[in-house]
Chains A and B, each alone.
Chain A
């Protein structure tokens, strides 16, 4: 004799229990007589059929409605009970994990795999979880600031092709890998042959869209200056350049610039402002970026505050190094000697968005007492823009899974292709390219996408007499129990959700 019971509710005439995957609770709709006193809002739902049973611990009454559709007296009531996942939406989590350094590696200070992050969330909620199916070698960036736990779990697991269920037999949350799980149970109580459906169309290609490509280069600079009209020009093209040129103009005052405003602009910008000219080796080519044509300095903007190269700091924490300048310039040697590819140790700052270097003090060369433009090189990391669209160049990883041209793309912006071009003086001598690492990480995300967008098994479903209790997993998507008139039946669907009267997975996940 099948029974359904909930703490404090007597005489349940009819029940429909829809068990589903995800962070939203499964729901049981119980039809019962109006109770003498209100039942407790939190209790245990028990579903039993002979020797087998299942219970929902810490289930809660979501709502109740009086029904007027029968002539019974007293009237019946519908009570909707939610499993304990109702609590997940009422708890929050904070923390920042898997910060990426500029060279694309995950900072060791807060590195946690998906599996570890899931454990962190459940520990915060005071629950245990079987997270063994979650990847232990993927490190997505998360920034939780009072984030609802259900949302955090959903976003984290969806990205890696996993999901979460409650295993009511063990009363424990369990991570499943989508597409992997049990077959429809064979109980001998099957009512009708199983239904086999077809999968929907699969895309021909899956793509992981990574973050914008980052390059580290040594860039040759050229002197620029600002005019009264706001224009920025090469230093020899400004309209206040003295007739005899800059050779004998002391940058301490530019006495040969006669107009007072012009002189102020000269003191502000001449030999202090420098802009990108080309790469140190000459030209604008980046050989590591196949098919990307760089022809103008603006394609390298914006510059970045830190280099791709990193070193450990005083706390043994890896930190990205800062941009630096080398070159041939008068380094304030008393005798007027110039440096020869010497590192500049004075102060400067970068206008990252426009690629301008501003020195605190004038930087120039002295040749036989004459002032000349210095030869300066800025080692800096930068983006690359498309010559035609001006959009940033992104790296992506594709996987073909079938014919056609449709592509489904998912963004994993923290995966960044980085190319550090190391120089000896003005010649590139080696390259540190993390392409292989990014490809390997991207492949794991592609694996996750593939089980989601290209299921191998066709959807199937079966109806059983009485209650059967298969565990939801990556294959068994929905179990529906029905009890009415002393009879019971169970629908189990695999690879899809069979019950059309319940919110679909997509509807349940809306807003997450």
Chain B
């Protein structure tokens, strides 16, 4: 294996990150992107990151193999080409989809965004995964959403369990949908649109 910057490890599109949460970030943690800015001194693009919260995001970063000190800097990747990422518990298996969870650094089963390629280490809780942007979500209307209106959709995971305090605002272009109805939403041009609904 090559041991220099030409190695496969360094061929990944790493981006520079800064901890914005004031706590140390473990290796391979899933990172919520809080903001991105250009450092005026170095000219580098720096992503300020933190632990996933209840806000739903379509993309996350994943820390590299080194810990990032509180308010310190590190390097992370979008994992678009696959790589290692922390998970919380269980046994990630090929074909499953896992995703970030509020208040923890590792992925959890049934969530959105990370296609599992296999388990790497049950000791270190590391899985091989590849991330792709989330374009479709499943949830339940938190109030009626009539045709032409927008409303809150509380998100559910792939196992039909509610994701606590996590929602998207979706627009209905079709027939009226009553409250507490299961729906599917797709993002079109930056807007979540209801694409299917429980009668």
A residues adjacent to B (C-beta < 8 A) = 244, 247-248, 250, 252-253, 255-256, 260, 330-336, 344-347, 360-361, 363, 366, 368-371
Contacts and interface: CB of A to CB of B under 8 A. Distances in A.
A250 B68 CA distance: 9
B66 A369 contact: yes
A244 B121 CA distance: 30
Interface string B27-47: 100000000000001001000
B1 A370 contact: no
A56 to B, nearest CB: 72
Given A332-B2, A332-B3, A250 B9 contact: no
A330 B27 CA distance: 14
Nearest to A331: B3
B67 A368 contact: yes
B143 interface: no
Contacts of B126: 335
B72 A255 contact: yes
A361 B3 contact: yes
Contact of B67 (A248, A260, A334): A248
A333 B66 contact: no
B4 A334 contact: no
Given A345-B2, A345-B3, 7 more contacts: A248-B66, A252-B14, A255-B16, A334-B9, A346-B4, A361-B4, A368-B67
A139 B120 CA distance: 61
Nearest to A347: B4
Contact of B73 (A244, A256, A333, A360): A256
30 contacts: A248-B67, A248-B68, A250-B73, A252-B14, A252-B75, A253-B44, A255-B16, A255-B73, A332-B9, A332-B10, A333-B1, A333-B65, A334-B8, A334-B65, A335-B65, A335-B84, A335-B120, A336-B27, A336-B65, A344-B3, A345-B1, A346-B3, A346-B4, A347-B4, A369-B27, A369-B66, A369-B67, A370-B66, A370-B67, A371-B66
Range, interface on chain B: 20 to 34
A331 B27 CA distance: 16
A248 B70 CA distance: 10
Contacts of A368: 27, 67
Q: Which of A252, A260, A344, A370 counts the most B-chain CB atoms under 10 A from its CB?
A: A252
B118 interface: no
Contacts of A347: 4
The 4 closest A-B pairs by CB, nearest first: A369-B67, A336-B65, A255-B73, A346-B3
Given A260-B41, A345-B3, A334 B84 contact: yes
A335 B83 CA distance: 9
B65 A250 contact: no
A231 to B, nearest CB: 26
Contacts of B44: 253
A333 B9 contact: yes
B84 A250 contact: no
Given A334-B83, A369-B65, A253 B3 contact: no
Interface centre among B3, B9, B14, B27 (most CB of A within 10 A): B3
Contact of B5 (A247, A260, A361, A371): A361
Contacts of B121: 335
- Main SS class of interface, A: loop
Interface in B6-31: 7-10, 14, 16, 18, 24, 26-27
B84 A256 contact: no
Contacts of A370: 66-67
Contacts of B73: 250, 253, 255-256
A104 B65 CA distance: 47
Contacts of B18: 255
B153 to A, nearest CB: 37
Contacts of A252: 14, 75
B74 interface: yes
A310 B48 CA distance: 54
Contacts of B66: 248, 250, 336, 366, 369-371
Nearest to A361: B4
Nearest to B12: A334
Given A334-B83, A346-B4, A369-B66, A250 B75 contact: yes
A348 to B, nearest CB: 10
A247 B126 CA distance: 22
A248 B24 CA distance: 10
A371 B67 CA distance: 9
Contacts of A366: 27, 65-66
Contacts of B72: 248, 255-256
Contacts of A244: 69
A330 to B, nearest CB: 8
Interface string B63-102: 0111111001111000000011000000000000000000
A256 B66 CA distance: 14
A244 B67 CA distance: 13
A345 B7 CA distance: 11
Interface in B129-155: none
Nearest to B9: A332
